[in-house]
Amino acid sequence: MPIMKLLFLFLLSVGIVKSQGTLDYDDEDSTALPPTEGESTGVDARGHRPLNKKREPFPSLKPVLPPPSSGIRYRARPTKPPVTGRPKEPVVYPDNGGCKHVSEELGVLCPTGCELRTELLKQESTIKPTVLDLTDKVRKLEQSSSSIFSYTNMLDERLAKRQKQVRDNQNVISQYNKEVEEHYYFVKENLDSNIPSNLKILRGIVDILHQKLQKLENAITSQLSECRTPCTVSCNVPVVSGKECEDIIRKGGDKSEMYLVQPDPLVKPYKVYCDMTTENGGWLLIQNRQDGSVNFGRTWDAYKKGFGNIAFSGGKKYCDTPGEYWLGNDKISQLTKMGPTELLIELEDWDGAKVKAHYGGFNIQGEANKYQLSVSNYRGTAGNALLEGASQLLGENRTMTIHNSMFFSTFDRDNDGWANPDPKKQCSKEDGGGWWYNRCHSANPNGRYYWGGHYTPEMAKHGTDDGIVWMNWKGSWHSLKKVSMKIRPVSEQ
């Protein structure tokens, strides 16, 4: 009985857990295609495209000068089985009528006088044997009557036993009936109380979901109406401006927010987000990922000019919250050409852990040189992906993931280190963003944004690690929650 109850409760709870489980699960991107051509699924450290030695040349790193180190512009700043009662088989009792024998048949024979004697003598010869025979039969009959008697006794005994059995069986049956009744009440009780309350819980969950959907719909509607007019930043740009963020902080702009910069009198002033607090401040954000709000799978032209949202108002009058953006290759190149520039890459995973990669030298060539990348002097906790490639890989597999000295590639402009005649086999097409792809990457900060971080080759569009990856830190299949790339002119020590 308790087992039945437990089983029942277990089934109920399984039902509840199941229904809640589907609520927790965030299957945001179910539209993704399965991996193509069965290519290398489940390889933990992806990033690279192993060489087919017979046909393919090893990717050549394009020689590039290290970033400039002279011409420093700034002095140092101060600074779960069921058990059931089986029903007894019905007992069939023998009919006890006819069990008693009768023995009066011989009593009519009454002999008289000589008639009898003659008759007797006449018949003696025949009767004698008959009598003998009869005697014998009588004896046998006596015997059999006594055995029949004892048989009758035996039958009586059996009958008594059977009757007792019947009573016992009736007890068993009524006991069984009682049990069935109890089960019935238990089930009924559960139906009456638990199921309605469970239904209530489920209905509550459905209601909450419904509300969430409505909120989402409202949010989408209001966002759509905002998108009909060109985006205007509804916060004040600070009065203080400068060549870049370092210049601004030196002029007193010490809040992290959006500023207007003009690195060169020949270029139009433009908006950037300056980080004035991290590592002494003065950092100009050239790239930022934090919520997947901006698509980074863009064309050469988009990466050239820049895209995304520079900053938002966090409630106050100024734009103190950075958006997701790519500043633009022309601007980045121009900023790094002004003098020695350092690069700070900050990374955060979905558990809130943070690491950094700092490059003391950072330089980007112009468009004519395909925005070739040059970095130097690594220090940090993230791992030196840009200069040394993915630490999980060995030999040429590792070196083909080095980014330093690579050209910039987008899905519509293939400058990567993967010499494959198949036009589909391009790093930028497979790995989701514009980047200094080799063959292909150890770091992929402009990859696809995966909510929750964990993703699999089956979720990726091409079965490759196209997430926001920094292999040296979290491997290929954890897409980071946040990445930002910030630059600053190198100051005198």
Ligand X SMILES: *[C@@H]1O[C@H](CO)[C@@H](O)[C@H](O)[C@H]1NC(C)=O
Give the chain as a 3 state SS string. Answer: CHHHHHHHHHHHHHHHHHHHHHHHCCCCCCCCCCCCCCCCCCCCCCCECCCCCCCCCCCCCCCCCCCCCCCCCECCCCCCCCCCCCCCCCCCCCCCCCCCCCCCHHHHCCCCHHHHHHHHHHHHHHHHHHHHHHHHHHHHHHHHHHHHHHHHHHHHHHHHHHHHHHHHHHHHHHHHHHHHHHHHHHHHHHHHCHHHHHHHHHHHHHHHHHHHHHHHHHHHHHHHHHHHCCCCCCCECCCCCECCHHHHHHCCCCCCEEEEECCCCCCCCEEEEEECCHHHCCEEEEEEECCCCCCCCCCHHHHHHCEECCEECCCCCECCEECCEECCHHHHHHHHHCCCEEEEEEEECCCCCEEEEEEEEEEECCHHHCCCEEEEEEEECCCCHHHHCCCCCCHHHHHCCCCCCCCCEECCECCCCCCCCCCCCCHHHHHCCCECCCCECCEECCCECCCCCECCCCCCCCCCCCECEEHHHHECCECCCEEEEEEEECECC
Please report whether residue 50 would count as binding ligand X according to CB under 6 A: yes
Interface residue with ligand X, options 11, 206, 267, 394 (CB under 6 A): 394
Interface residue with ligand X, options 57, 97, 111, 395 (CB under 6 A): 395
Nearer to ligand X, 321 or 464 (CB): 464
Nearer to ligand X, 287 or 401 (CB): 401
Stretch that binds ligand X, among 192-200, 301-309, 395-403, 464-472 (CB under 6 A): 395-403
Please report whether residue 94 would count as binding ligand X according to CB under 6 A: no
The one-letter amino acid code at 106 reads L
Nearer to ligand X, 341 or 442 (CB): 442
At closest approach, how far in Å is the CB of 464 from ligand X? 12
Stretch that binds ligand X, among 236-244, 299-307, 363-371, 390-398 (CB under 6 A): 390-398
At closest approach, how far in Å is the CB of 48 from ligand X? 6
Nearer to ligand X, 329 or 401 (CB): 401
Nearer to ligand X, 42 or 87 (CB): 42
Stretch that binds ligand X, among 270-278, 304-312, 340-348, 392-400 (CB under 6 A): 392-400
Nearer to ligand X, 111 or 395 (CB): 395
At closest approach, how far in Å is the CB of 396 from ligand X? 6
Please report whether residue 57 would count as binding ligand X according to CB under 6 A: no
Please choose, from the candidates 415, 431, 325, 430, the residue with its C-alpha nearest in 3D space to the C-alpha of residue 372.
Answer: 415
Nearer to ligand X, 51 or 131 (CB): 51
Number of residues that bind ligand X (CB under 6 A): 6
At closest approach, how far in Å is the CB of 55 from ligand X? 15
Nearer to ligand X, 372 or 392 (CB): 392
Please report whether residue 44 would count as binding ligand X according to CB under 6 A: no
At closest approach, how far in Å is the CB of 388 from ligand X? 15
Rounded to the nearest 5 degrees, what angle is found at the Cα of 345, between the Cα atoms of 344 and 351? 140
At closest approach, how far in Å is the CB of 437 from ligand X? 17
Please state, in angstroms and rounded to a whole number, the distance separating the CA atoms of residues 409 and 446: 11
At closest approach, how far in Å is the CB of 25 from ligand X? 32
The two most distant CA atoms of the chain are separated, in Å, by 173
What part of residues 24-43 is at the interface with ligand X (CB under 6 A)?
Answer: 43
Nearer to ligand X, 50 or 204 (CB): 50
At closest approach, how far in Å is the CB of 372 from ligand X? 26
Nearer to ligand X, 52 or 493 (CB): 52
Please report whether residue 397 would count as binding ligand X according to CB under 6 A: yes
Stretch that binds ligand X, among 279-287, 351-359, 393-401, 456-464 (CB under 6 A): 393-401
At closest approach, how far in Å is the CB of 394 from ligand X? 4
At closest approach, how far in Å is the CB of 303 from ligand X? 29
Stretch that binds ligand X, among 94-102, 184-192, 336-344, 389-397 (CB under 6 A): 389-397
Please state, in angstroms and rounded to a whole number, the distance separating the CA atoms of residues 488 and 285: 9
Binding site for ligand X (CB under 6 A): 43, 50, 394-397
